[in-house]
């Protein structure tokens, strides 16, 4: 243990040790409730936002504003890949262009965008720290900075590959965990049709079209007015603890 501590605190390994300690502190704060699990999560965009899975199912919402406007819901099965909730905005994104494509493709290849950032980062730091300790112990016993810099290259490649492989199975898990969130986001802002009168006193129901298929929602009006059966309303928000959507009539 003393030998491991000495190696971890050596000059060539201390940067990785600092990162490893910071990651440990982060997970401790998450466990005791001081931080949310996704408090340091990041959004990755590669001309669109994608969620992948094995045996994939595509529910895309595309909005392109350039010389043309396209708004479509698509359901696509591509081999054994699933893309869900894709969104692209032509006003801010050059569809099919190379702007930011290389960096975003690398981040997506590292499973960022599918798995929370801190999980990917934590595995990467763990493998880098372990690799630095072992490589410097066996191939850099004098702890020279030059040799440590050279050893960083294979260490990074192996760590990145190991991180990629170990986080790959987690993509399906987080896809299913975020399915409900994606469904809520795809419904809010859409027009629904009341299948029964909606009043503040009792729960009502409405249908909304998603991917060309009508979905039944539990709804309640925003204000005190009753919305009659057959009327159209817009879905404005979702109350999670009641599992009900708030709607208001279309003027």
Domain count, the chain: 3
Same domain for 73 and 164: no
Identify whether 162 is part of a domain.
Answer: yes
114 and 167 assigned to the same domain:
yes
* 166 and 77 in a common domain: no
**Helices then strands, each counted (H, E), the chain:** 7, 9
pLDDT at residue 44 in the model: 55
Both 115 and 163 in one domain: the answer is yes
33 with 123, same domain: the answer is yes
Q: What is the pLDDT of residue 41?
A: 61
Q: Are 204 and 220 in contact (CB under 8 A)?
A: yes
Where does the pLDDT of residue 9 fall: very low under 50, low under 70, confident under 90, or very high at 90 and above? very high
Phi/psi for 246 (5° steps) reads -95, 135
pLDDT above 60 (res 70): no
Taking Cα atoms as reference points, which of 82, 75, 105 lies closest to residue 175?
82
| Domain enclosing residue 197, as ranges | 188-249
* One domain, residues 18 and 142: yes
Helical spans, DSSP H, in the chain: 2-8, 14-31, 101-109, 117-139, 145-167, 170-177, 179-187
225 touches 194 (CB < 8 A): no
- Say if 195 falls within a structural domain: yes
Residue 104 CA to residue 85 CA, distance in Å, equals: 17
pTM value > 0.85:
no
């Amino acid at each position: 243990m003393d030998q491991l501590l000495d190696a971890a605190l050596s000059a060539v390994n201390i940067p990785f040790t600092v990162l490893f300690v910071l990651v440990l502190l982060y997970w401790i704060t998450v466990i005791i409730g001081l931080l949310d699990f996704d408090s340091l999560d990041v959004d990755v965009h590669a001309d669109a936002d994608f969620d992948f899975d094995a045996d994939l199912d595509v529910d895309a919402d595309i909005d392109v504003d350039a010389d043309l406007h396209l708004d479509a819901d698509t359901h696509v099965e591509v081999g054994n890949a699933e893309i869900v909730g894709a969104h692209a905005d032509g006003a801010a994104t050059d569809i099919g262009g190379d702007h930011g494509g290389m960096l975003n493709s690398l981040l997506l290849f590292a499973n960022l965008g599918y798995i929370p950032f801190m999980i990917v980062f934590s595995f990467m730091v763990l493998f880098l720290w372990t690799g630095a300790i072992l490589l410097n112990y066996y191939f850099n016993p004098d702890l020279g900075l030059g040799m440590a810099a050279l050893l960083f290259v294979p260490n990074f490649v192996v760590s990145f590959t190991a991180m990629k492989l170990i986080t790959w199975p987690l993509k399906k898990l987080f896809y299913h965990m975020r399915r409900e969130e994606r469904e809520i986001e795809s419904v809010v802002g859409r027009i629904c049709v009341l299948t029964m009168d909606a009043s503040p006193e009792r729960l009502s129901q409405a249908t909304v079209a998603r991917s060309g298929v009508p979905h039944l929602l539990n709804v309640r009006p925003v204000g005190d007015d009753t919305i009659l059966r057959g009327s159209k309303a817009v879905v404005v928000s979702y109350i999670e603890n009641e599992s009900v959507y708030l709607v208001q009539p279309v003027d």
